[in-house]
A and B are shown apart, each in its own frame.
Chain A
């Protein structure tokens, strides 16, 4: 059990459905349970048959979902309601609140487009979400007696979290998707120096140092402004929650500053819904939003209004945020059909589009798009792709490694070549091993089940170690025992902050305890044939004095004999049943003098036997 094993069922050397099996300390944990939106058959879900042939709940101790994006949670209702997993599922409160919205959106599109019946239903989404245990940031959750998990803030999207997983002395951190730089509405990811045995990190931008977000924002606003000034319309297809809110804040501020009058619309219902969740989980947003929340809620937009279908035919410029984000159905596609022929208009795609969708076609520059037999869209409007993705870049990934100081790193959610480059960088800079398994490839991470214990300086000096100062932690000394395997004896004091080995007296002092003496006593019966006790005691004293001449020897006034901490006393009483005298010697000694005490007891026993003869 000293190894940690990892098998990505998804997200191994690719950016698709994230699903990673982690075997740690005898526990099996599924990290994320995502779907691949590019497929429309069973391949969209991870191949769960790799988990084992029996009931899956027996083989998986818990499922952890990092955030609400479908490539991280899209297969969850399938896994629980159709594949049969019935164990605990953990995610943060915002993720639990928002997940069902995205799952339902996706379900509707899937069932509508393909008429699929072998897909989870709305009722299944609800049943699945009812099984989820929502957790708070930095809350240590005890999954069972041995397994504990703890979420940390990950930025990226509302409610995204990194999780530390700990079983005994082994630990791993799974990042999900994260962002090390704050954006308009979210803060930067943060984790403490938890020194996990393994860090499983996303590596989407493994080789990229991303240009300043300000530049991208400026570029976006400039283009919007140009089109609006020229009387054109702008369509921005988005997913209901996430990047849309960031862009809304950006446009709202710009409209305010520039005193623009052109209307901005957002699909009806979604603005309210998004607002509701951002208000509810305001503590998950960035510092600026939190601090200004009392004066003005940044999500109550002055310029952004709910959209009604008839507005699409209104003359004049406007900006519309519409779902779905890939232009494959619904309102965004309807508006696109109406506006595509006009050169003055613009389509801004702020996110990923799966191959085969209208969004993907437009982005790849196709000018004639056949929607159905009657509808061929002549694409005249200008198309812009603007990435506002909130993933950590190479610098951010290195920063996270520096932050938590892992002993090993495993890269997922990225491309092979880029991962290889980043692996070399990590190994070079941090001198730790780094791997990036492909899907289905099991990686074994050897762990050193070492438990860190602080040792009292006096105790170390006693053991003869050379003591140096530790540059990494102020006021801490590091002992060099020259590679010797020496046994240090002391009292192990366990506190929440860690463990310390102390000298007994020091431990008693710190813990405010009195020292207790532990004594062993053995009772030796004196045979009836033996001489009277007084005589016996004198003979015994003479024998012991000779045998233990190096020890502190004394005879007490009552005839008791003392040798170091060992005491020999005699007792005398009547045995009413036998009508005889019952005589005994009691030999007692302290725990520290166990060897001496045992030896004296043995000598006394021999003495009694010979005396009686």
Chain B
């Protein structure tokens, strides 16, 4: 279909929107159509004609009262600045920014935003800025966000906001959390667009004084959250934006020194019991210790750790925090430990902030063995296995709290993954995991996380300690028959993770662990029969890793008089017979990794004298070309590609011909699935290569495809095809069948 034809369709669709908007029941269609129009405006060859059609529609829509038509017309005008001129008049006179329908209000602000550059004087005179300021209190978050985006763009275009407007802007912010969120969201947007305008606005509004007053007095948690978000944003970008805090803090009562002022606010938050926000501030400030506002203030991360330290029985004297601060913060935190709920909240907030710090690699300032011991002590307490210990009495409220346990474990996992620990720390972690895994009936979620941490520990720390290994062996054995599929799955995942990660670092698991894995070969094969497809898939991946380690599988094979062909047969059996795609995909992936990882495997596929291995694989791969799952088919093609890519095209062709795979590749060139076709095409091209005598069949196929306009005969532009399809749908809806359409839409899934 040519572009003029598409334009004609578009005009008809516009008619439907103006004349029969009730029939347009699916607004996703309109949103996607707008995407296409926006993109098309970028094409200079299309721009003028498209603008004419759009302008005609916008003119006709001005008399409409239907929100669908109005909203679409406004958003359409916002898609191209040249269309905005007439719309601004329309917006000024018709009060669409205050329309009853949120879609219309939202679209009005979108149009205003895009019109600022060309029509700022009109907007300035129209009073729409005042309307937008009121729009920050709109009942719809979407409208308020749009109004905020308009105001941010307005301020950043150099326009000024009067004193009375400032008053309206900040009115009720201290009481109305929704407005507070929108106003400070707008401020943040201003900073993101232009920090110089942001700083100017901050000064003009004397905003830091306002923020300080509220943070020290406001009791509304949601408002505090908004203000903390804003402060955190400023602090994190303070250096990039070159914020002159001294000047901005002139109006503030407590201090003109940024660090002092910010710390004072944090102390106030803690004093007033807003622990979650206190830790969020401290943790975020801590991310600037390298070269930001809080440079060299490494004690911040220690402060975040303090509740964990105290809860786990640590004493002040052994804590790395300047003495004065330590005394003050310890006594302030002690107040939070007076009741059960505030104790739990304080420890949880601390843990959440520590997870955040670990993810941002800001935990390195704490000595690893210290946090490790404390964290393990806390875990033992929450899991009620602490026995006689030094925990303070308030910490007993943490016993049995699954949230604290899980967050502590997540912290442990993040620490294992983000920093290099001392050997002793890993030993502690492994022992702790073993201990906690041996507890009676923990939740499957906790077991899975513990197994992940255990895997990380084993990979990082090669220990010859046989006692721990014996325990691991017992745990894994019992978990393989656990009624929860999640636990069985994580157990197989642990094996494959340990083996693949040690392989990547050219390492070897310690000998006692190799013994464990040797005993694991049989159970892993049994896992291929598990009732849960995810577990079968993980068992297959574990098997794939095991059979790349001769030191693990050889003794098992000898003891059971097995040969590689038996294992290959297991994998092929899954590929051919498993009812679920997930294990079938894993089966092909195992064959793929064995091409490089299993000694002699690649050769056995290309040699005709190793039929016992070769024929079941070729047979399974040949059958998998018709798999219902396109990813299985793609993996099969990946397999052929990997098998042949290092060979000359003649040799590669010969390998594929001998494997009877050439027909499969050619067939895949016409597969209904695009990704399968693309992969087949890649193989075909590699086979054509630069060989002097390219294989005729495959080249012929490629030539045919290219003559059809690409692989699989797709439309020249799927971008236009999508739009045409949407336009046809819109027009068809407008043609009637509204009752059916309505019930169809309602009959959702």
Contacts and interface: CB of A to CB of B under 8 A. Distances in A.
B674 A441 contact: no
Given A58-B352, A364-B737, A373-B708, A7 B714 contact: no
Nearest to A26: B221
B672 A334 contact: yes
A125 B631 CA distance: 16
B624 interface: no
Contacts of A269: 579-580, 628
Nearest to A355: B29
Given A144-B403, A361-B725, A352 B744 contact: yes
A39 B145 CA distance: 21
B629 interface: yes
B396 to A, nearest CB: 14
A557 interface: no
Given A361-B725, A361-B729, A112 B675 contact: yes
B344 interface: yes
Contacts of B280: 54, 58
A370 B708 CA distance: 16
Given A354-B28, A356-B725, A50 B716 contact: no
A440 interface: yes
Contacts of A440: 102, 140-143, 145
Interface string B443-473: 1110010000000000000000000000000
B581 interface: yes
A364 B276 contact: no
A15 B746 contact: yes
Given A70-B749, A122-B582, A373-B713, A356 B229 contact: no
Given A239-B749, A351-B749, A440-B140, A58 B737 contact: no
B254 interface: no
A369 to B, nearest CB: 9
B229 A54 contact: yes
B744 A130 contact: no
A366 B728 contact: yes
Contact of B749 (A53, A352, A438): A352
A374 B29 contact: no
B28 A36 contact: yes
A204 interface: yes
Interface in A237-278: 239, 242, 267-269, 272-273
B534 interface: yes
Interface string A114-148: 01000000100010011101000000000011100
A391 B743 CA distance: 12
Given A15-B745, A112-B673, A112-B674, A374 B708 contact: yes
Nearest to A7: B141
Interface string B712-749: 11111000011011101110110101001101111111
Contacts of B141: 7, 50, 440-442
B26 interface: yes
Contacts of B733: 364
A52 interface: yes
Chief secondary structure at chain B's binding surface: helix
Nearest to B736: A365
B352 A55 contact: yes
B403 A364 contact: no
B271 interface: no
Contacts of B746: 15, 204-205, 389, 391, 414-415
A508 B377 CA distance: 45
A69 interface: yes
Interface residues of A, number: 81
Contacts of A55: 352, 355-356
Given A54-B280, A441-B140, A130 B490 contact: yes
Nearest to B726: A356
B709 A43 contact: no
A145 B716 CA distance: 60
Interface in B133-149: 139-143, 145
A160 B713 CA distance: 43
Contacts of A242: 749
B26 A365 contact: no
A382 interface: no
A115 B582 contact: no
Interface string A335-371: 0000000000000010111111000110111100010
Contacts of A351: 747, 749
User: Which residue, A15, A130, A391, has most C-beta atoms of chain B within 10 A?
Assistant: A130
A333 B673 CA distance: 12
Interface in A14-54: 15-16, 36, 38-41, 43, 50, 52-54
A268 B628 contact: yes
A38 B713 contact: no
Given A130-B486, A205-B746, A360 B729 contact: yes
Interface in A59-81: 69-71
B32 interface: yes
B445 A133 contact: yes
Interface in B561-618: 579-582, 585
A57 interface: yes
Interface in A367-385: 370, 372-375, 385
B536 interface: no
B356 A365 contact: no
A373 B714 CA distance: 5
B732 A373 contact: no
B728 A115 contact: no
A6 B724 CA distance: 39
A272 B732 CA distance: 38
Contacts of A374: 708, 713
A268 B726 CA distance: 32
A439 interface: yes
Contacts of B581: 104
B92 interface: no
27 contacts: A38-B26, A38-B28, A39-B32, A54-B229, A58-B349, A71-B748, A108-B629, A126-B582, A130-B486, A130-B489, A145-B341, A204-B748, A269-B580, A273-B579, A309-B626, A329-B672, A333-B672, A352-B748, A355-B32, A356-B729, A364-B735, A365-B735, A370-B724, A372-B712, A389-B748, A442-B139, A442-B178
Given A204-B748, A356-B729, 15 more contacts: A53-B232, A54-B229, A54-B280, A55-B352, A108-B630, A112-B674, A115-B674, A126-B534, A131-B445, A269-B579, A363-B741, A364-B729, A365-B732, A370-B715, A441-B140
The 10 closest A-B pairs by CB, nearest first: A38-B28, A364-B732, A440-B141, A389-B747, A355-B29, A53-B229, A440-B142, A374-B713, A69-B749, A387-B747
